[in-house]
Every structure is written in C-alpha cells, then in structure tokens.
C-alpha cells in the first residue's frame, strides 16, 4: 500500500504544477485494412479468411503557461469480431528542457529502444502450438505493470545523437493467485543516431528486469534480458538486424496444464526494405529458440521458430495501398518437429487518413 500511495502522490504533485486548461487540442487518424489470408498449415487443411481491421486513434494535448505539454491518447480497434478500446496509454508530460515523463501505463524503457526490423506488411500468419515458447520479438523479456513511470531524456543527451530512457513499475495491487504475474519491473534503454558517409545509422539497446509473484509453492520465475540492434538507411534502402537474449515466463493456463513456465530464450532478426517509386519491397527473417520448464525446473530440450516473411506494397493513390504478403514458418517443440508450421499468403488494401 505504501508504494501505491507514493505513486499516487507523485502523479498528483506532478500534474499540480500545471494550470487548469479549459479544453485540449485533439487530432485524430485512422485506417481501414481489408484483405484475405490463404493459410496452408503443415498439419491440416488449407483455409482462407477475410480479415477486416479498422483503427481510429485520438491524440490529446495542451500546453500550460509554464511551457509543459500534457498529452495522452486513446484508440478504438475493430478486427472483425469486437470493438476493443485501447486503454493502455500513458499521460505524457513534455518539459521545456526536452525531457518527457510517461505516467501510468508507461511500459518498459528497454522495449522503447528496440530497433524496428523490416518484415511483411501483410496480416498473414502461421499459428503454432501454445507450448512452443521460442521468442520472435526483440522485447520479449521487457515487461511492466500499469502502475509505472518512464523518463525520456532530451535529444543529444551527453553526446550528439544519444537519447536514453529509464522506467520503473510497482505492484499493481492485484490479488495473488496461482497464475504468475509481474510484481514490479525496471528498464533502461538508449538509442544513438549517427551517419557514415551517405548512410544514416541508428543503434538501439536495452536491458530490463522484473520480479514475478504467485501463490504456488513453485519457485518464482523471472523476466530479464538484453537486446541490441542496428538499422542502416542509404537513400531508399533500409537494412536492419537485431538480437535479444533473456528469461521470460508463460503464465499457467490450459495449454500448460495449469503450470507456470520459465523460458530461457534468444532471438535474432534481420530485414531489408527498398522503396522504388510507388513500390515498397520488404523481406524479413526470424530465428528464435528457447528452453522451458515448470517454475523451478530448468528446460533441457529446445523449442524453435524459424520464419521468413516478405511483402510488396503498391501506392495506388494518396492514402491507399495494395499489399501482397507471404510468410513461411518452421517450428520444433521440445526438440521435435511439431508440424504446426506452414505458409500463408495475404492480399489486401489499406486506406489511411
């Protein structure tokens, strides 16, 4: 309770420095993406499905007399089944010295600085078994609770091109249960931007950690890791690579026979993007592996996820793009091919405003 009171006091005192505004400035954007996916799993029948995705987001901001900008945002997402409110956005304070502070739902600073790796722009995917724990994202070890803050430095922090972030989150106060949850977290990340001749380089790295809690007698697991990536842009060509290594967990559920699972994983990603006229070509590869076991029991055999995906996007008109995407996945679960890989195609279009 003491930690929650301290967090609440910090929020009230921080916002209290701002004068009350009569109204805020609102801007909005959105998109409609419609396409069809053709899925060919290794262990089943070929299927196809129409994917209808609508996104509408609103950004809110206002600047106080002292020059501090207060902002937040919300969104509505319709993916064909139900409307989902995007309610995990922070309140952001931007100060006159260039620093910013995210309050509540702040996330983890390590994940903020992971490098974006080009891959398919389509919505195709290959579903694998729920017991395969091989990671596919660079930020797989970065976690947080909603009750957190994240601080971002101004640009050129201590060196030209350097920007850093730090975050902390504490116990959300949820009742403990057999299902493992994050109790508290911390994170640190940095991005460095420089150039080499005609090439613009962006280097991103992060480190994070989190404590896990549950009511079972099993030893508590953890969530901690590091990631590193670099992106090089030369004219219309972008090439990026990234690697991550760390520990994570999978909360107990039906797929795990009720057990909480420790995951010792690593992943490497690479991608290339080329823009020529109205065409954008993207190609990406993912190689993830892990060992997993019930909390307190080290895994001994490997899960793996090997993926190649790509897409061609054509700008039909202003704000309108046609997309052709392809993904191929090969998986192993506990060292044995589990036949849950396969391939998938996507053909669709996006309209944005």
Concatenate the DSSP letters of all residues of 297-324 into one string: S---SEEEEEEEEEEEEEEEETTEEEEE
Structure tokens at 97: 């010295």
Strand boundaries in the chain, DSSP class E: 25-41, 47-63, 69-78, 83-86, 91-94, 100-103, 148-152, 162-169, 181-196, 199-213, 222-234, 237-250, 261-276, 279-294, 302-317, 320-333, 336-337, 342-352
Res 305: pLDDT: 92
pLDDT of residue 5: 43
Token reading at 168: 């902390």
pLDDT of residue 256: 63
56 Cβ contact partners less than 8 Å away, ≥ 6 residues apart: 28, 29, 30, 75, 76
Q: Would you call 4 helix, strand, or coil by DSSP? A: helix
Phi/psi at 110 (5° precision): -65, -50
How does DSSP assign 203-266, residue by residue?
EEEEEEEEEEE-SSSSPP-EEEEEEEEEEEEETTEEEEEEEEEEEEEE--SGGGTT--EEEEEE
What pLDDT was estimated at residue 195?
94
Q: Which DSSP symbol is given to 67? A: S
Q: pLDDT at position 247, please?
A: 92
CA distances from 3 to 37, 142, 215, 348 (A): 47, 21, 21, 48
Radius of gyration over every alpha carbon of the chain, rounded to an integer in angstroms: 22
- Structural domains of the chain in order of their starting residue, each with its CATH number: 2-352 (2.40.160.10)
> Within the chain, which residues score under 70 in pLDDT?
1-22, 78-88, 128-130, 216-221, 253-258, 338-339
Pairing mode, if any, of strands 222-234 and 162-169?
unpaired
Rounded distance, CA 123 to CA 79, Å?
Answer: 11
Q: Are 136 and 125 in contact (CB under 8 A)?
A: no
CB 316 within 8 A of CB 322: yes
Joined tokens for residue 342 = 């396969």
In whole angstroms, give the CA distance from residue 97 to residue 151: 13
| pLDDT given for residue 12 in this prediction | 45
């Amino acid at each position: 309770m003491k930690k929650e009171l301290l967090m609440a006091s910090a929020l009230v005192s921080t916002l209290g420095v701002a004068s009350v505004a009569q109204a805020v400035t609102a801007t909005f954007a959105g998109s409609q993406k419609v396409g069809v996916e053709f899925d060919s799993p290794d262990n089943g029948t070929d299927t196809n499905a129409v994917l209808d995705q609508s996104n509408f987001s609103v950004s809110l901001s206002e600047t106080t007399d002292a020059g501090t900008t207060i902002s937040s945002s919300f969104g509505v997402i319709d993916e064909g089944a139900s409307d989902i409110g995007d309610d995990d956005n922070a309140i952001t304070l931007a100060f006159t010295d260039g620093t910013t502070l995210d309050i509540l739902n702040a996330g983890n600073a390590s994940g903020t600085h992971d490098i974006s790796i080009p891959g398919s722009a389509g919505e195709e995917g290959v579903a694998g078994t729920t017991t395969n724990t091989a990671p596919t994202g660079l930020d797989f070890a970065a976690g947080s609770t909603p009750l957190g803050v994240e601080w971002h430095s101004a640009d050129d922090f201590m060196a030209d091109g350097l920007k850093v972030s730090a975050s902390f989150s504490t116990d959300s106060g949820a009742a403990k249960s057999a299902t493992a949850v994050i109790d508290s977290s911390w994170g640190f990340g940095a991005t460095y931007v420089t150039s080499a001749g005609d090439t613009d380089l962006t280097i991103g790295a992060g480190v994070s950690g989190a404590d896990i809690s549950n009511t079972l007698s099993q030893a508590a697991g953890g969530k901690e890791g590091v990631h590193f990536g670099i992106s090089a842009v030369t004219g219309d060509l972008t090439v990026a690579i990234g690697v991550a290594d760390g520990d994570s967990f999978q909360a107990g559920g039906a797929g795990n026979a009720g057990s909480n699972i420790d995951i010792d994983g690593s992943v490497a990603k690479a991608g290339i993007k080329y823009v020529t006229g109205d065409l954008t070509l993207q190609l990406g590869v993912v190689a993830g592996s892990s060992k997993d076991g019930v909390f307190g029991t080290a895994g001994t055999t490997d899960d793996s996820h090997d993926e190649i995906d790509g897409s061609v996007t054509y700008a039909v008109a202003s704000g309108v793009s046609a997309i052709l995407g392809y993904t191929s996945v090969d998986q192993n679960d506990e060292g044995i091919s589990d036949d849950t890989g396969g391939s998938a195609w996507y053909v669709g279009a996006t309209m944005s405003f």
